[in-house]
Amino acid sequence: MVLGLVALVVVPLVVGAGWFWFQVQPRGAQGAAVTIEVGEGWTLHRTAGVLAAEGVVGSGQAFEWWAAISGVGDPEAGRYTFHKNMGGRAAGNVLKVGPEVQAAPDLTLLVPPGLTVGEVADRVGQLPGHSRDGFLAAVNSGAIRSRYMPPEVTSLEGFLFPDTYRIAAADDDAAVARRLVAQFDAVADRVGLANAPAANGRTPYETVVIASLIQDEAKLAEDAPLISAVIRNRLRDRMPLQIDATLCYAKGGCPPVPTEADKSINSPYNTYKIAALPPTPIANVTEANLNAALHPADVTYKYYVLSDANGKHAFADTLAQHEANIRAARAKGVL
């Protein structure tokens, strides 16, 4: 009778202990990953129920008991990765470590063609964790340079290549600037900018300046080599370029469009007063316009004017022809 009474007490304890131990151990081979988002205010009881429902542990109740014994309290909110059949001991260890640290997502930076350094800085400043002033400080530090910049040039104007960039969350403003300049150098290498003197009689840097003028002036790709030729021909004949885009740069931007009074601005960028290229590029440039600057069309044009609403230009050799093109454009309502 004594043995029977002992058995009645001991056997359930042994069976219960065995069942409990079985629940907290892995239940066969580890299964597929299970990601659980623990919300704010979740209790251990609620979490145990979810773990059981997802097959991570066999019993939510057994997991709660194990958690109480091993010091696992209510979980911190966040994302956790478990595995099916991993058992209560391993699941408790995951909760003890805490939620996974989520890497910040990459950012997207769109840099359209024709922007100045300041306008690129405006866009960088809109990215989380970045600032306009920080980007400009990096750009103006002198530590970031294109290999196509002469030693005496410190401005990165024209060398922040237009493109769409994926910016890592860990990248600072200087890293962003380096990416844009590196992309410019890669494109410039591809089009053969280093061979500019042989191609167009200009230095690589002068060619970038010319490309920036074409960038702002050409509305259609077909006009770019022709505008490049006009720039070449006027420089050759020591004629002022008379490009309104340079006045816009001197003024700090347009609109409003340049006026007759603006043509008297005292600035090295005023190509109505100075018969030379501006001292720096006035905007970033595309690969196509770099190519156009390198390879001007074989024409004798010295003038051009917008001729239709689609952005096409009319070209002329003489001032009389140019004035006739202007009258035609005004009759169409283009000017």
pLDDT band at 254 (very low <50, low <70, confident <90, very high): confident
| Separation CA 64–CA 86 (nearest Å) | 15
pLDDT at 100 (0 to 100): 86
| Span 108-137, average pLDDT | 95
Q: Residue 287: name the closest of 217, 189, 200 by CA.
A: 189
Q: How far, in Å, CA of 122 to CA of 117, rounded?
A: 9
Residue 23 pLDDT: 56
Q: Is residue 317 a contact partner of residue 302, using CB atoms and an 8 Å limit?
A: yes
Instruction: State phi, psi for 238 to the nearest 5 degrees.
Output: 55, 40
The predicted pLDDT at position 255 comes to: 84
Residues paired with residue 316 on neighbouring β-strands, in sequence order: 303
**Residue 95 token pair:** 């909760």
pLDDT digits (tens, 9 = 90+) for 285-329: 999 999 999 999 999 999 999 999 999 999 999 999 999 999 999
Q: What is the value of pTM for the model shown?
A: 0.72
Rg (CA), the chain: 35
Q: Which of 108, 106, 137 is nearest to 121 (CA)?
A: 137
Identify the residue with better confidence: 106 or 205. Answer: 205
Alpha carbons 97 and 143: distance in angstroms, whole number: 42
Q: Which residues contact 84 (CB under 8 A, 6 or more apart)?
A: 30, 31, 32, 34, 54, 55, 56
List, in order of start, the domains of the chain with CATH numbers.
11-97 (3.30.1490), 107-191 (no CATH), 202-301 (no CATH)
Q: What is the pLDDT of residue 252?
A: 87
**Whole-number Å distance between alpha carbons of 186 and 83:** 46
Vertex 323, ends 318 and 329: CA angle to 5°?
130
pLDDT at residue 12 tops 90: no
Query: Position 323: which residue type?
Result: E
Amino acid at 301: Y
What average pLDDT does the chain have? Answer: 90
Of the candidates 257, 240, 236, 237, the residue with the CA atom closest to the CA atom of residue 248: 257
Please state, in angstroms and as integers, the Cα–Cα distance from residue 302 to each residue in 115, 252, 320, following that order: 26, 27, 12
Query: Does 46 score more than 70 pLDDT?
Result: yes
**Banded model confidence at residue 16, pLDDT cuts 50, 70, 90:** very low
